[in-house]
Structure 1
Amino acid sequence: MMLVPYLPDWESLHPLVIHFPIVLLLLSPAFVLTSAVLSPQRGRAYLIVGLALLLTGTGSLFLAVETGEAAAELADHTPGMTPVLQAHEQLASQTRMLFSGLSFLLVALFVLPHFSARPLARIYSTVLPMVFLALYLTGALALVNTAHQGGRLVHQFGVHAMITH
């Protein structure tokens, strides 16, 4: 009986971790939107959840990119697959930068009301989150395009994780 469960190699983790940032980062804006349509007091809890999802999703995006780079080194590079892999890698890098910036912005939106006058509460709780969500569309589109290119690698070119024992 094995006491320590089998842990896959680093390069084999990509298919296991990639779905976390996709789900977390696509779910986060729903909570930010909910926070924006509620009163500032009631919406604050939703903003906290949206921020936690965004920060966790962004952190897991870093892990996904790192494991993806390791997995790409082991992939058999066929002529048709190489441009798709390069597009996937470039999009993943851009997506990571976009969500890092979006994370910084939402942290700023969360902290900013503590340093301002009370009459501006509605601007901070409604207007700025809506502007943030408009910017978030760019990140969401980059994320979906990155995932699409990754899906092409798997379903069109048969790229899969190399699991070694």
Structure 2
Amino acid sequence: MKGLFEGLPSLHPLLVHFPIVLLLMALISHIGALLLKKHRRPFTVLTFGLLLLGTLGALAAIHTATHISGDADEGAFAVFEIHQRFAWISFWLASSTTVLHFVGLRKDTGAWINYLILILLISLSVTLFITGHHGARLVYQYGVGPMGNGILIN
């Protein structure tokens, strides 16, 4: 897998923003489903689609940035570890929420599942924010990635 993306150092920044938007839009769509009881079904299906695509995109984004090499600062390695940890937490939250939402679509589970999904989506949004914050630190504070110092390579 390392050689597959080595010639595309900008692939991670290209892939990472799309799933972030999809997952944040899933939160907005789910809130819409909770507020519009009369027209809930289209919003719940939309939320599931956004979650599924966002989760798959997040997995692709994680796999296009697996380590730092080159002459990166020691601090960059620590920040990268935090960035990766929160990326994986975000992925597992998104995966769990997607599965739970699928179960909610298939079975009559009651209102409790919708509020649990809401809590998970809010938690996911927080972990996405933290992940993005540390990703931005890597780029703008340490010059990792698109700026060329300590290029992200698979």
TM-score by length of 1: 0.78
Structure 2 unaligned segments of length 5 or more: list them: none
Aligned to 1:77: 72
Following the alignment from structure 1 to structure 2, what is the Cα–Cα distance between the partners of residues 54 and 9? 30
Aligned partner letter, 1:38: L
- Name segments (4+ residues, structure 1) moved above 3 Å: 7-12, 73-76
Aligned to 1:137: 122
Contact 1:25/1:53 (8 A) holds in 2: yes
Deviation at 1:21, TM superposition (A): 1.2
- In the comparison of the two structures, how many residue pairs are matched? 144
Higher helix share: 1
Deviation at 1:79, TM superposition (A): 1.4
Higher radius of gyration, 1 or 2: 1
Aligned to 1:86: 81
What's the RMSD between the two structures over aligned residues?
2.2
Following the alignment from structure 2 to structure 1, what is the Cα–Cα distance between the partners of residues 95 and 71? 31
TM-score by length of 2: 0.83
Residue from 44, 47, 63 that aligns with 2:44:
47
Aligned partner letter, 1:148: H
Structure 1 unaligned segments of length 5 or more: list them: 1-6, 117-122
Indicate the percent of aligned positions where both proteins have the same amino acid. Answer: 29
Deviation at 1:94, TM superposition (A): 1.6
The equivalences for 1:7-156 within 5 A come to 9-39=7-37, 42-69=39-66, 72-113=67-108, 123-124=110-111, 127-156=112-141
